[in-house]
Amino acid sequence: MEATALSIGKSVLDGALGYAKSALAEEVALQLGVWRDQVFITNELEMMQAFLMTAHDERYDDDRVVKVWVKQVRDVAYDVEDTLQEFSVCIEKQSWWRIRRTLLERRRVAKQMKELRANVEDVSQRNMRYHLITGYGSKNATTDGKPVIAGTTMSGADEARWQRDRAKFDLIRMINKTDIDLRVISV
């Protein structure tokens, strides 16, 4: 009887620990991904602002499709600016007294960043899907005659940050792995 109760208790505890470990890994991955998303949408915001200035200068008033797409880009740009401001405020308000509230705010902003990144990619895909803008602006951005797609190249700093985040994700995966031959032992 005692052994059965102990066995049941152990299996319940193992299940709860497994759930907590996966939830923690998911939260860490979300928080680490925020920085990559922040860099991506900051770079995209710069491109959107440049595009909107060019669209304003070139005056495509007679093309309704381009007009709608410019409006969508403008709306996403406003959302990006708002979210980046919230992110910077959230980062600045770190306090040990408000740790729980700060974590909840960071989680909310992290989810907003993920949604915003998806929106930015959707707007970009919409342009490619419908061939709205080809050779937009007075000077086309090309490399060896091939068009450059915004957001596909990384600077050295972005690459280093991505590699560091990748190493953290690999470490989290190794910690959570249940393989008996591979284990991480804290020293």
User: Which of 2-18 are b and which e, b meaning 16 or more Cβ less than 10 Å from the residue's Cβ?
Assistant: eeeeeeeeeeeeeeeee
Higher pLDDT, 152 or 80: 80
pTM of the model: 0.53
Instruction: Say if residue 147's pLDDT is above 50.
Output: no
**Domain residue extents for the chain:** 24-176
Q: Is 98 strand, coil or helix?
A: coil
Residue pLDDT, tens place only, 116-128: 888 888 888 887 8
Token readout for 78 is 């406003």
Query: What separation in angstroms does the CA of 62 have from each of 65, 68, 134, 183?
Result: 9, 11, 17, 64
Instruction: State residue 13's pLDDT score.
Output: 72
Token readout for 29 is 């991955």
Instruction: State residue 139's pLDDT score.
Output: 43
Q: Tokens 């249940």 label which residue?
A: 178
